[in-house]
Amino acid sequence: MLIQITAPHFVAAYVVEDGKITEAAPILKWALGKSDNEMRGYCARKSWRACVVPPHPSPKNL
């Protein structure tokens, strides 16, 4: 699942697999290995917005 973070000074994203952050934008690298719940709590304390990015459908062969 892809989560987008919107803060006053940046927009970035991270990937969650099995409840843990496995990939992250460079500005969020410190969050690797943390749980999604920990990160969402951190975002709430900082007044950042965290939202799930819906998956895009696969493009059809043209």
pLDDT tens, residue by residue, 12-56: 999 999 999 999 999 999 999 999 999 999 999 999 999 999 988
Q: Is residue 35 part of a domain?
A: yes
Q: Is residue 61 part of a domain?
A: no
d(CA 32, CA 15): 9
Q: Is residue 12 part of a domain?
A: yes
Q: Is residue 48 part of a domain?
A: yes
pLDDT of 7 strictly over 60: yes
What Rg do the C-alpha atoms of the chain give, in angstroms? 13
Which residue range is the domain that position 8 belongs to? 2-53
Q: Is residue 59 part of a domain?
A: no
Total structural domains within the chain: 1
Quick one: pLDDT at residue 62?
52
pLDDT of 60 strictly over 80: no
Q: How much is the pTM?
A: 0.84
Q: Is residue 60 part of a domain?
A: no
Residue 4 pairs with which residues in a beta bridge? 13, 51
Q: Give the residue from 20, 12, 24 showing the smallest Cα distance to 36.
A: 20
- How many whole angstroms from its chain centre is CA 47? 15
